[in-house]
Amino acid sequence: MKRTGQLLKWMTLLFFAIALYATTIGQAISIEFAEGHHKHLFYDIFLRGLPLVILLTLLWTIKKKRKRLVNIGIGILTTIAAIGMFFWSILLMYSFSYGAWVNKAIIYRNKKNPEVTVNQQSWDIGVFGYAGERTVKITPFLELWNRVEDIDTTKIDRSEWDLLK
């Protein structure tokens, strides 16, 4: 039983670490999911799992050696946090889970590495339409992700790229 408790503890801490990274630093780095459905799956698991994981922390935060009043306080605060995270996750669902950059056109393809492209993209927010555009160089990264860099097509070295548009 103790081993199961330790496993649950480390799984919840890992989930919190991934969630914290995904909503902070992960939003600022230039690596994105290559496929929109992978992104949606990741954020759906994150948003739906967060309240559950918060409630799971009760299993390893409430201890017999603590006073009963302290355990009751921990239980109440954890439940309030889980309810708050449930409503917060509903709000985040629209900004993280449903929007995605969609390729409108591939403008250039790299001559040496054809998988590296320069794309014109639009931010698709589903039924809410499109919210912006960008031109980026996309480099595949470990098959699941793309390294994305903003690029100015007027300054591109055309000897390295084939124009497709």
Q: pTM above 0.75?
A: no
What tens-digit pLDDT sequence spans the chain (165 residues)? 578 878 888 888 899 888 888 878 887 888 888 887 888 888 888 878 888 888 788 777 777 788 888 888 888 888 888 788 778 777 766 655 567 788 899 999 999 999 999 999 988 776 667 778 999 999 998 889 999 999 998 888 888 998 986
Contact 139, 147 (CB under 8 A): yes
* H or E stretch covering 32: strand 31-33
Collect all residues with Cβ–Cβ distance below 8 Å to 80 and sequence separation of at least 6. Answer: none
> CA 102, CA 86: separation in Å to the nearest integer?
29
Measuring CA to CA, how many Å separate 100 from each of 56, 68, 103, 108, 130?
Answer: 31, 48, 10, 21, 10
Whole-number pLDDT of residue 64: 78
Work out the angle at residue 28's Cα, subtended by the Cα atoms of residues 23 and 34, and round it to the nearest 5 degrees. 85
